[in-house]
Amino acid sequence: MGEPGADASEPPQPRRFSINAALDGFFFVYAGIAAVWLAWLVLSETLSFGWFGIAFFVVFWLVLAYLVLPRLHRILTAIYVPDYFIGRARTSDGLLGDPVNLALDGDEASVHAAMLTAAWTRADDVTAASSWRIITSTITRRSYDEAPVSPLFLFGRQQDFAYQQEVEGNPARRHHVRFWRTPDGWLLPGGRRVDWLAAGTFDRAVGFSLFTLQVTHKIDADIDVERDHIVSTVLGANPDARVVILRDFSTGYHSRNGGGDSVRTDGDLPVLDLSDVREVGEVRDAAIEESDESYESDAAPERVRVIPGVKTA
């Protein structure tokens, strides 16, 4: 940014420092502090209203979980969470979210075709209507298989789209995977070019977030199972799909996601090559069936290539 000597026909570069942005920063922090005070005032009201105070306690929780803690996290994570690629998506509060555990090659149409053929459902965008529908379907336990997924951020951008598979018609449990297009010319650590990055996790229940106390989905800790489920369903349904596995792409680790759920992974990164997938084929519902065998031994060997991590003496 800010390349000097730009073409004279281009508009002048804006100032790097903006009073407006500084004012915004002040208001952002000031509102956070004021919200803490508001939470305290509401909590002290709780004590003076007897049984009616329970309603005030709910209001206190709403203020704390949806206003105060997100704002405080947003301020603090801007300071301590690195903003470059570290293999993790970030929540809208800036917390470390789901790990990036899948990469893809191919244009957008190919990705959509491959996912739809493998019996995945595209998630709706978050709007007022879809938010209301997710609330009603959760309360009534009705199926909502295009339910939106919460926004997670990579490269400072919300996911471009997301796919999911509802399990047993229960909105609390679902497979889901978010996709981000990588910036032009962006390389994975290690130097490989990929077109898409994705983060797949399995929502196992609805619960409270550890960090913000909000109601959220709890994810299954073993995210490698979900990663392998995505790869095997896509390979199983799309004969033209291939995969290259980068062994030990990230060091095997265990950690927590944005809701405080623990996650662990062996650190392998499968790179699905979907560039030969052209159109939506016959949807293979059978692909949803869990197979005990890993796709690494299941699929035709010429479609799976493994690049091992290198050990040095």
Nearest 10 degrees: Cα torsion 166, 170, 171, 173: -70
Q: What is the closest distance, in whole angstroms, from the C-beta atom of residue 19 to another protein in the complex?
A: 9
- Residues within the interface to another protein (CB under 8 A): 14-18, 20-25, 27-28, 30-32, 34-35, 37-38, 41-42, 45, 48, 67, 71, 74, 78-79, 82-84, 128, 185, 187
Q: What is the closest distance, in whole angstroms, from the C-beta atom of residue 139 to another protein in the complex?
A: 21
Closest CB to another protein among 36 and 245?
36
Closest CB to another protein among 34 and 172?
34
Q: What is the closest distance, in whole angstroms, from the C-beta atom of residue 244 to another protein in the complex?
A: 21
DSSP string, 239-263: TT-EEEEETTSS--EEEE-TTS-EE
Q: What is the closest distance, in whole angstroms, from the C-beta atom of residue 24 to another protein in the complex?
A: 5
Closest CB to another protein among 19 and 313?
19
Q: Which two three-digit tokens encode residue 78? A: 């801007």
Q: How far apart are CA 78 and CA 83, in angstroms?
A: 8
CB 232 within 8 A of CB 177: no
Closest CB to another protein among 128 and 139?
128
CB 301 within 8 A of CB 136: no
Amino acid code (one letter) for 45: E
Q: Is 239 exposed, middle or buried (0-12, 13-18, 19+ CB in 10 A)?
A: middle
Q: What is the closest distance, in whole angstroms, from the C-beta atom of residue 226 to another protein in the complex?
A: 29
Closest CB to another protein among 15 and 311?
15
Closest CB to another protein among 71 and 217?
71
Q: What is the closest distance, in whole angstroms, from the C-beta atom of residue 143 to another protein in the complex?
A: 26
Q: What is the closest distance, in whole angstroms, from the C-beta atom of residue 54 to another protein in the complex?
A: 15
Q: How far apart are CA 29 and CA 142, in angstroms?
A: 41
160-171 b/e with 16+ CB inside 10 Å = b? ebbbbbbbeebb
Closest CB to another protein among 64 and 177?
64
Q: Which helix (H) or strand (E) element contains residue 181?
A: strand 170-181
Task: From 296, 303, 245, select the one nearest 277 (Cα to Cα).
Answer: 303
Say how far residue 200 (Cα) sits from the centre of its chain.
7
